[in-house]
Amino acid sequence: MNLEEFFNKNNIIDLSFFNFRNAITAAYLANNDLQILRVNENFRKFFPVLGNVTNAYFPDVLAQLGVSGEQITQFISDIESKGFVQIPSIHIHVDNEERVYSLLSTRTDDDSFTYLNCIQGQFIDRTAEWSLRNEREELLEQKIRDQEIIEENSRRLENLAHRLAKYLSPQIYQSIFSDIEETRAAYARKNLTIFFSDIVKFTDLTDILEPERLATVINSYLSEMSSIAIDCGGTIDKFIGDAILVFFGDPESNGEVEDSLKCVEMAVRMRTRVAELQKYWQSHGVTQEVHVRMGIATGYCTVGNFGSEQRLDYTALGRPVNLAARLQGIADPDAILIDENTHGLVHSHVSCEPIDKITPKGFSRSVQVYQVGDFISEAHRGRRPELSRVGQHVEINVIDSSDIRAAIEELRQFQEDFEKQIPKDTSS
């Protein structure tokens, strides 16, 4: 005789389901055919739309709750093949509110009471947890989006700063982006050495050359002159067509003597570099040699931001600026003229020849003018970079001095190409 024959079936089922009656989850008990036998009170509270579900087919109940067909199929498949089901999230609309539940179900086996061989399960309300998870994921996604925006803006600012650097002297660029002294908001009275240069008969070049060729020539000229100015520590004020205005002594100064010496050194190197570039320019249609005039003057100037609220120009104003321009205007081709103030600072280091006393246009008194030869010290001249070399078999002229490494790589490539043309030794 079986033990189950001595007990009331419904009472045993009730006892089996007793632990679920007061559970905070929505619990159910179904037979092996998935027909619902019992549900607890929370099941009815969770899903009031269902009403009485006793004897209902559980997958149909899931469908009535709006559970997706895919999840219903998963439930049936898992309970038959595995004997248990774990569906972490089921989205169900209850009273026009979306709630999220986990569905856990398992088969039970009992050797003494065969009618307890059934399926027990429960819906666990995960809505609050799911909301918190969504909020966390949204915050994380927003953080990622914000980071992407920051990185994109940083790239744009970096690109903008890189482009802006081409329009500003490095010293001015650094002072702007380092935010020092609210970056040049005030004016200052400083002793500066001013350099002014332009190309002789540049107008003739503009009439002869096509725009593209003219752009190549003038850009290479300004690029090389700028590299020398920066290397010597000068502040590039502006380009006016082919003219170049550079000053020494602001925003950084090494003392008026050193500032003047650096300016003269820059001018000498520029003159040499122009001579080195002649063949390159001739290959671009410049039929006559290019010559440059240069003027240098030293004295007190007012330096700072000048302009409007829409556009500012960091520049120097004063008598030395005008005098440097006048000296440049009267200089012979390839000559460097300096005023008496500059001569007094550099004459012990630089060979200078007195020219004459002149009264420049707009000046009330005469000015002693000197023409610069070169630095007296051989050791000093030997420290200058040589960008052109002439040997017995080859002549090398580096056109773009801003990238010496690229020039070295080209030379190595030339070496490899020529080595390939050397006949192999077949004597062995």
Task: Give a three-class secondary structure readout of 188-211.
Answer: EEEEEEEEEEEECCHHHHHHHCCH
pLDDT computed for residue 184 by the predictor: 46
pLDDT for 182-195, tens place per residue?
544 568 899 999 99
pLDDT computed for residue 427 by the predictor: 54
More confident residue, 271 or 9: 271
Strands (DSSP E) found in 222-291 = 235-240, 243-248
At residue 233, the 3 state secondary structure works out as: coil
- The pTM assigned to this predicted structure is 0.61
Helix H or strand E segment including 407: helix 404-420
Q: Provide the pLDDT confidence category of residue 79 given band limits of 50, 70 and 90.
A: very high
Residue 5 has pLDDT above 90, yes or no: no
Residue 233 has pLDDT above 60, yes or no: yes
Mean pLDDT (whole number) for 24-28? 87
DSSP string spanning 307-356? E-SS-EEEEEESHHHHHHHHHHHHPPTT-EEEEHHHHHHHTTTEEEEEEE
Q: Is 47 left (phi over 0), alpha (psi -120 to 50) or beta?
A: beta
Instruction: Indicate the angle between helix axes 211-231 and 256-276, nearest 10 degrees.
Output: 150
For 229, half-sphere exposure in the C-beta direction (CA atoms, 13 angstrom radius) is 26
pLDDT for 327-362, tens place per residue?
999 999 999 999 999 999 999 999 999 998 998 888
Residues 6+ apart with CB under 8 A from 119: 29, 30, 31, 32, 34, 58, 79, 105, 106, 107, 108
Q: Please, what's the b/e burial string for 164-190 (b: 16 or more CB within 10 A of its CB; e: otherwise)?
A: eeeebbebbeebbeeeeeeebeeeeeb
Residue 152 has pLDDT above 80, yes or no: yes
pLDDT for 307-318, tens place per residue?
887 777 888 999
Residue 6 has pLDDT above 90, yes or no: no
pLDDT computed for residue 402 by the predictor: 65
Residue 64 has pLDDT above 50, yes or no: yes
Structure token digits, residue 201: 């008969």
CA separation (Å) from 330 to 212, 298, 356, 359, 360?
30, 17, 12, 11, 9
pLDDT for 37-48, tens place per residue?
888 888 888 888
Residue 293 has pLDDT above 60, yes or no: yes
| Helix intervals (H) in 123-169 | 127-165
Q: Provide the pLDDT confidence category of residue 69 given band limits of 50, 70 and 90.
A: very high
**Mean pLDDT of all residues in the chain?**
84
pLDDT for 249-284, tens place per residue?
998 899 999 999 999 999 999 999 999 899 889 888
More confident residue, 387 or 159: 159
Q: Please, what's the b/e burial string for 124-161 (b: 16 or more CB within 10 A of its CB; e: otherwise)?
A: bbbeeebeeeeeeeeeeeeeeeeeeeeeeeeeeeeeee
pLDDT computed for residue 9 by the predictor: 62
Mean pLDDT (whole number) for 128-143? 90
Could you give the domains of the chain? 3-125 (3.30.450.20), 188-385 (3.30.70.1230)
Residue 180 has pLDDT above 70, yes or no: no
Helix H or strand E segment including 78: helix 69-81
Q: Provide the pLDDT confidence category of residue 428 given band limits of 50, 70 and 90.
A: very low
